[in-house]
Amino acid sequence: MPLDFNFIENLIGLQDIKVIFVNVNNGIVEIHAESKTHSVSCPKCNKTTYKVHDYRIQLYEHLPICDKTTILHLKIRRYICECDFNHPFDEAFSFIRKYQPHTIYHLKSLSLNLRAKTL
Ligand SMILES: [Zn+2]
């Protein structure tokens, strides 16, 4: 029976991503996903660009599923705009803060657990 990726997308609760592949390896849930959108606004000139410069896979820890560590393997596109070909820029996701190895939801969960332990 094929896996219903819509179910996985709803389960993990992250906006605007498409789940491509799910794997459970050594008790770790690995969710491979990419953005559903294929264009972004340039941060310099605000025009919409569709030109992908390249992409990379970035790993983020997300909320556990069935008490298993969940790692999101996110394909992040780097776009380029005609206003500045020398400075490609990453697409942005609402659930990620720059330079953080966790999703925002995982960070909130960690801080709530820490607060509960100190009370
Ligand atoms: Zn631009």
| pLDDT tens profile 8-31 | 777 788 878 999 999 999 999 999
Cα-to-centroid distance, 43 and ligand 1 (Å):
7
Tokens of residue 10, six digits: 């709803």
- The confidence band for 33, taking pLDDT boundaries of 50, 70 and 90, is very high
pLDDT score, position 71 = 96
Is the pLDDT confidence value at 3 over 70?
no
Cα-to-centroid distance, 35 and ligand 1 (Å):
20
Is the pLDDT confidence value at 75 over 70?
yes
Which residue type is seen at 13?
G
The whole model's pTM is what?
0.84
pLDDT score, position 91 = 94
Contacts of 30 (CB under 8 A, 6+ apart): 22, 23, 24, 71, 73
Cα-to-centroid distance, 45 and ligand 1 (Å):
4
Cα-to-centroid distance, 48 and ligand 1 (Å):
8
Give the Cα-Cα-Cα angle 18, 57, 110 (nearest 5 degrees). Answer: 80
Select from 6, 58, 63, 5 the least CA-distant residue to 29: 63
Do 69 and 29 form a contact (C-beta atoms < 8 A)? yes
Cα-to-centroid distance, 94 and ligand 1 (Å):
21
Which range, of 40-49, 79-88, 97-106, averages the lowest pLDDT? 97-106
pLDDT score, position 28 = 96
Cα-to-centroid distance, 39 and ligand 1 (Å):
12
Cα-to-centroid distance, 113 and ligand 1 (Å):
42
Cα-to-centroid distance, 42 and ligand 1 (Å):
5
Contacts of 52 (CB under 8 A, 6+ apart): 77, 78, 79, 80
